[in-house]
Amino acid sequence: AQSVTQLDSQVPVFEEAPVELRCNYSSSVSVYLFWYVQYPNQGLQLLLKYLSGSTLVKGINGFEAEFNKSQTSFHLRKPSVHISDTAEYFCAVNPNFGNEKLTFGTGTRLTIIP
Amino acid sequence: DTGVSQDPRHKITKRGQNVTFRCDPISEHNRLYWYRQTLGQGPEFLTYFQNEAQLEKSRLLSDRFSAERPKGSFSTLEIQRTEQGDSAMYLCASSLVKGGYEQYFGPGTRLTVT
């Protein structure tokens, strides 16, 4: 079984400042890792994913994440945030035999302060 | 690629009534998933299909819940004898078995049980 911990339920950040959203996971098997974003009253949109290879992955909207196997972490970063980044962000994992159910964290609400 | 669609987007029902939701996946996607998301939580897995076969059901899926995917195309999720605790966002996602392993989500159906 897998579990995902997002330690920060809310993160307020000033516009144009950098941000890091933390994600730690636990699993008895190797996993694939994902970050999704959810805007109000909408479904989830994939930001980026880690399957294998380079531990630094780049996604849409200027976001990137780094996979750290020893720390079982997959933190999401953006060097300069915009008002439009205000949303809920979810980290998720599934076993690396692929396309199984996703296990999500509880989410981090990112609020951008003008 | 028209994306995953769900119908209805909102449903208000009285306790004890039956409700049915529909999900149309991205064409050619052979995996279809249902998740439930309550306020302040990440999505929780309910069930998934590969083509028309239902491969896994969560313990969250009580006997009052049933899902089908006839002919491996659209899927329906029915809740019988709704309870107030069923109030949530019901999300559908689809994916390709062989692909980048990401799941594409629909906009969700928000159910309110009064």
Spatial separation of the C-alpha atoms in residues A85 and A28, rounded to whole Å: 33
CB contact under 8 A, B48 and A90: no
- Residue in chain B closest to A31 (alpha carbons) equals B101
**What's the mean pLDDT in A8-37?**
95
pLDDT, residue B28, reads: 86
pLDDT, residue A103, reads: 94
> Which positions of chain B have pLDDT values less than 50?
none
Token couple for B111: 């159910």
* Chain B residues within an 8 Å CB radius of A106: 40-42
pLDDT, residue A91, reads: 97
Report whether pLDDT(A52) > 90. Answer: no
Residue A98 confidence class, pLDDT cut points 50, 70, 90: low
Spatial separation of the C-alpha atoms in residues B103 and B96, rounded to whole Å: 8
Q: Are strands B19-24 and B109-113 parallel, antiparallel or unpaired?
A: unpaired
* Chain B residues within an 8 Å CB radius of A9: 40
Q: What percent of chain A has pLDDT over 90?
A: 80
pLDDT, residue B100, reads: 67
* Chain A residues within an 8 Å CB radius of B45: 101-103
Spatial separation of the C-alpha atoms in residues B55 and B53, rounded to whole Å: 6
Residue A15 confidence class, pLDDT cut points 50, 70, 90: very high
